[in-house]
Amino acid sequence: MFTKSRKRIALIKEMIEARLKHRGVDSVQARLSVKALGSFSAMSMPEATIVTVLEGIKAAYRRGTPLAHELIRIEKQRYRSGHDGLWFDEILALNHNENPGATFIDFLYYRNQMEAPENGKLTKDEVTFLVEIAVTEIWSWN
């Protein structure tokens, strides 16, 4: 059985491969590119941020913490990597919507735009696509 950290790395690599294919990279080349990545390199990819944030949201949900409180906690933690107060406040205002999934997709897109170098920025569609891959897997973890 995989440890949680091995599951995390495997999921991140699966997401990287899916993103490469989504961007039109040949399946074989996408697979080879991912196989060439070490764990440390994989953890520096945008997909790692998505997985880490979703794990935090899941843990907060299990504790009964409201999504807005968890997003504020994450934002305080990642503040030095970039921050746009107006954009973040807009995301929190959306949290009152009946679709929390849209709120954390918006938050993950925002974090990617704040943290990633230009060549690592994802489109909102890519964030949505990657979250769809990650959520089911992460929610199945104990």
Tell me how far apart the alpha carbons of residues 16 and 8 are, in angstroms, rounded to a whole number.
12
- Domain assignments of the chain as residue spans, ordered by start: 4-140
Contacts of 29 (CB under 8 A, 6+ apart): 20
Spans of the chain below 70 pLDDT? 1-4, 96-98
pLDDT given at position 3: 63
Helix (H) or strand (E) holding 87: helix 85-94
Q: What is the predicted pLDDT for the residue at 1?
A: 44
The pTM (predicted TM-score) of the whole model is: 0.90
Provide the pLDDT for residue 30: 95
What pLDDT was estimated at residue 18?
97
pLDDT digits (tens, 9 = 90+) for 19-49: 999 999 999 999 999 999 998 999 999 999 9
